[in-house]
Amino acid sequence: MVRTNFVTIKDVAKEAKVSVATVSHVINKTRFVSEFTRQKVLKTMARLHYQPDGIAQSLRSKRTNTIGLIISDIANSFYPEVVRAIEKEMVKKGYSIILTDTDDNIEKEKKLVTLLFNRRVDGFIIVTAGEEKEHIEFLLQRDIPVVLLDRRISGLKLDAVLVDNRGGTKKLIQHLINLGHKRIAIITGSLNVFTGKERLNGYLEALKEHSLPVDDRLIKKGNFRRESGYFSTLELLSLNPPPSVIFACNNLIGLGVMDALQKKEIQIPEEMGIAIFDDLPWFKHLNIPLTVVAQPAFRLGEIAAKLLLERIRGKRKKPKEVVLGVELRQK
């Protein structure tokens, strides 16, 4: 038995009494090798603790078994569960992920796409920061698989997994109207992205269907950050009369709303109601009554990973868009 600390393919071939080419074909699955010989080589590799050179293998197969995952804001508590699902699914299939964060900045997203492309990742899952599509088209033109997660890009036909942003918001606003609310404020996320636009559209549709007027002063267009919720709430509280409930378009905006109400010593829900498009496990520890829209975060990530794996393996030609339902909950 070979006893050197660094075992080479030649050592395996010598120990198994086969050629170096045969060992290479077993490792890379590049040519038929009888089952008897294949097992003999695999057992020898295990006995000698031989590890194939992953980089050399990837150069031969043109695969790195790595995918690029671009998230818009990793500080958003919604995304860790999504990332966990993607990683779990990818690891099962022998892939690793490179996780990056754009801070919801489209220019940073473009740079990260270039960086990961140069790292030769096998595919991308992207939570895009805007509607620009040149960098995505760059990947598609080079047959690099791309799956959009949570946000769609207008005019691009490619795989995407989304939640029913418009329908979920509409259902929530209708619920608030049925509770007797007439002055319902909304603090949107960025209207440069799909989720921001769709949630605003759901709000407007609900008001229209209930013949309620649209008061532009109750619509605060911000971003998906906590400070946006805070400063927008202060502006809403200065109105005469103020809204009776504030709808925050994600959990970070919702936290900003709570910060502002606490600063102004406004009681929830006696003086002001809060509704949020998100439901996170720690909401239950706030001891504040909330109306929320729960998103299937883990399922979102799981499906995105499966769509990408299908695309990498060439199992599907037509783009596939999956829209997941959401659930209205009273906390």
User: For residue 177, is it within any domain?
Assistant: yes
Is a pLDDT exceeding 70 seen at residue 3? no
User: In terms of domains, do 70 and 143 share one?
Assistant: yes
pLDDT the model gives residue 4: 42
The 10s digit of each residue's pLDDT in 306-315 is 999 999 988 8
Both 53 and 156 in one domain: the answer is: no
206, 274: one domain: yes
pTM of the model: 0.79
Q: Specify whether 119 is located in the same domain as 222.
A: no
Instruction: Specify the pLDDT at position 202.
Output: 98
CATH number of the domain at 90, please: 3.40.50.2300
pLDDT in tens, 30-89: 678 888 998 999 999 989 888 776 655 555 556 889 999 999 999 899 999 999 999 999
Name the pLDDT band for 287 (thresholds 50, 70, 90): confident
| 198 and 257 inside one domain | yes
Q: Are residues 241 and 138 in the same domain?
A: no
User: In terms of domains, do 155 and 303 share one?
Assistant: yes
CB of 259 within 8 A of CB of 279?
no
171, pLDDT greater than 80: yes
The token duo for 68 is 């690029």
Total domains, the chain? 3
30 lies in the same domain as 149 = no
Residue bearing the bigger pLDDT, 327 or 282: 327
In terms of domains, do 203 and 129 share one? Answer: no
Q: Say whether both 212 and 272 belong to one domain.
A: yes
Domain range for 91: 64-163+297-326
